[in-house]
Amino acid sequence: MAAPLNILVIDANRIRASIIEDGLRASGDCRITILDDTAGLMRRVVEIDPDVIVIDLENPNRDVLEHMLQVSRAVARPVAMFVDRTDRSSIEAAIEAGVAAYVVDGLKKERIRSVLDTAMMRFKAYDRLRRELDEARGELADRKTIERAKGILMKTRGIGEDQAYALLRKTAMNQGRRIAEIADNLVTAAGLLGGEEP
């Protein structure tokens, strides 16, 4: 059986927070923490360690909205934000901050869980894409380093490209390390010895 969803609700208005709480409790098993004070918010978010965060801003002014967006940027959790009114720049800022669901004038008890589910699914999809992109960037950087190391070996040893790669691979296997690590060490050493820019 899955653990109950740990949900953090940030809302200064206790009546509106109870609407969210009622909607969440009616939709299934969850642990709900409500914060109505944003003092020390980041520390409290870390302590609570929620699975998802719901932020409700009745009439957000620019400072409050920016503070909430900083929270959204800093935590690697899905964030659903409810606001009563908005403008284009606020929407753009929320999207840039990683808010997974931004709902304008839509705080209804019956909709809370579906908005939360959408936020969690969107966050997972975005997080998967971000990890894939980071992985692809890392692989590209590794390939560039390996190419530079092969070039250094070809030049200093007077060998061909295939031989240079075989030497890197053999060294990596002998040392139980990745080829990219060996290549990076070689490029760094060549830079220190004046043979190649690191």
pLDDT number for residue 23: 84
pLDDT at 13 over 90: no
Inform me whether the pLDDT recorded for 185 exceeds 90: yes
This prediction's pTM:
0.64
* More confident of the two residues 14 and 180: 180
- Distance (Å, rounded) from C-alpha 116 to C-alpha 194? 57
Top-confidence range, 52-66, 109-123, 162-176: 162-176
Q: State residue 198's pLDDT score.
A: 44
In the three-class reduction of DSSP (H, G, I as helix; E, B as strand; rest coil), residue 103 is classed as strand
Q: Token digits for 194? A: 């004046």
pLDDT for the residue 133? 93
* Better-predicted residue by pLDDT, 171 or 198: 171
> Predicted confidence band at 1 (pLDDT cuts at 50, 70, 90)?
low
If you average pLDDT over residues 113-137, what whole number do you get? 87
How many angstroms separate the most distant Cα atoms in the chain? 77
The candidate with the shortest Cα–Cα distance to 11, out of 47, 50, 64, is 64
Q: Report which secondary-structure segment, H or E, holds 80.
A: strand 79-83
**Rounded distance between C-alpha atoms, residue 123 and residue 66, angstroms:** 20
Q: What share of the chain in percent tops pLDDT 70?
A: 93
- CA distance linking residue 84 with residue 107, whole number of Å: 8
DSSP 122-147: HHHHHHHHHHHHHHHHHHHHHHHHHH
Architecture, CATH, for domain 135-192 = Orthogonal Bundle (1.10)
Q: Which residues pair with 169 in a beta bridge?
A: none
Tens of pLDDT along 19-63? 888 888 887 778 888 988 878 888 888 888 898 888 887 766 667
Asked if the model's pLDDT at residue 174 lies above 90, the reply is: yes
**H/E segment holding residue 31:** strand 30-35
- Please state the domain extents for the chain: 5-107, 135-192
Tell me which CATH code domain 5-107 carries.
Answer: 3.40.50.2300
